[in-house]
Amino acid sequence: MKYLVTGAAGYIGSHTARELLMRGAERVVAVDSLERGHRAAIGVLERLAPGRVRFVEADIRDRRTLRETLLAERPDVVLHFASFALVGESMGHPAMYWSCSAGGTASLLEAIQAAGTRRLVFSSTCATYGVPDRMPIVETMPQRPCNPYGSAKLACETMIREQVEGARRTGGDFGAVLLRYFNVAGCSADGLLGEDHDPETHLVPSALQAALGTRPALEIFGTDYPTPDGTCIRDYVHVEDLAAAHVDAVAGLRPAECRSFNVGIGRGFSVREVLAECERVVGRPIPAKIAPRREGDPPELRSDPSLVMRELGWKPRHVTLAPMVESAWRWMQANPAGYPR
């Protein structure tokens, strides 16, 4: 099969493109603007599968290029990752997030329709739930996002769902799967693909950067949350397990249906617990300081992944922090400055 992956030079997109190639994809068309993705990550994919990867440098809001690419390639499935993904940044720059997520997804759906592609897997987020009334989070709970990042992703879900419904009304069989996942950590086991954001805001790489001395100290944003140790609790999923979930979702696509699944391990870890695991892995204390809460951060987000396990047959191979932190530390030690620029 032939796949088109948007955001393929990013953290999750590159790992998923790699998973597709490892599972025998005939061709992967990797689309990325490189505004926040890395050409070096595409290079890893090209070396892993010579002749099976085509890179297109384009913003998904570039309707003409996107349409031309899909018409030329006619992919069987599109996997859509391209977006900005920083909650804090979205609070100060909401229009940027709406433009990229909602505007980009509208552009992509138009190109998909023009090319006659019938399958889409969308990278959504648990941020669409906002601050849930109870834990764990199941797919039927209300979606009430509390930040522009989550709001824009929810708008994308709505567009995709309506596109499926519109196709069904006109006799088409376009189908989609929406994956709402939780916090992601870790790097590829072979050390070829990693996590490299600028700025880096994710907890595990931020703690490891503090351990390396490439940032002065880890900031713990709030210690007065209604949790056992006062810090936020999140459900962490290994990036390779998440990549596998996206590929499993391809097999779970149904004609003229839009299906939604939570992807997590069903267990939460606090900021202090993650820091303690990072210190165990690096073998020394990591400098940290208390900072004010970040606006838009819910106290706890934890999934109930039973539906995705039952319906798609997905099961995480890593259910503790150790393999996530250990793989991230290996990559960061080998690439202290991140991917080559």
Which residue has 């949790």 as its token pair?
Answer: 227
CB 286 within 8 A of CB 218: yes
CB 199 within 8 A of CB 145: no
Active-site hit among 3, 97, 149, 181: 149
Closest CA to 23 of 53, 40, 1, 43: 1
CB 207 within 8 A of CB 200: no
Phi, psi (deg, nearest 5) at residue 102: -75, -45
Between CA 119 and CA 160 the distance in angstroms is: 11
Would you call 149 a catalytic residue per the annotation?
A: yes
279, exposed or middle or buried, with CB in 10 Å at 0-12, 13-18, 19+?
middle
Sign of CA dihedral 31, 186, 192, 51: negative
Beta-sheet pairing, 27-32 with 218-221 = unpaired
139, exposed or middle or buried, with CB in 10 Å at 0-12, 13-18, 19+?
middle
Closest CA to 236 of 269, 211, 261: 269
Q: What is the DSSP letter of 294?
A: P
Please identify every residue annotated as catalytic.
149
